[in-house]
Amino acid sequence: MNGYSSVLTPFPARKSPGPESRLPALRALRRRAGLTLVEVLLAVAILGSGLAVLLTAASRCLAVMRRARDYQTAQWVLTLGEAAHFTTETNSLDSFEVAGDSSLVPGFTFSREVDPDDDEDGLCVMRTKVTWADRGGEAFEEVVSFVRDPDFKEKKR
């Protein structure tokens, strides 16, 4: 017949490669299986800088939260101080003054002072202040209002 066999096979028969023919490929794979020192150092540097940014953001967030808590507590101390040292109609402005009450909330001091009437209009400036320690310094919240001087006598025109 034309030199063809009677059984047709789709692919010619090949000899399977033995372990010796795969050896160079395995050696190359083993050499490339790990990371180089430069790659490890680069990964550590990138992770370290990312961690530093995260820690900085977290510490700033905590500082803002602490400051907000302090201001909220200061508002509460102002309310407690106004309730404990309320202002009523009186014959003397000295009764409005509070030297420094630190018994309301620990770490916070409530005080009130009345400035004299400078422009002789019958109104005095009353400053109500809450102070507290903040990072080695002193922070405060102050409310300024006006009170009528009971000793003021209007001039007749």
Contact present, 133 and 107 (Cβ < 8 Å): yes
- Locate the domains of the chain by residue range: 37-148
122 or 69: whose pLDDT is higher?
Answer: 69
64 or 34: whose pLDDT is higher?
Answer: 64
pTM above 0.75, yes or no: no
Distance from C-alpha of 97 to C-alpha of 87, rounded to nearest angstrom: 9
pLDDT digits over 121-146, tens only? 888 899 999 999 988 889 999 999 98
Mean pLDDT of 150-157: 61
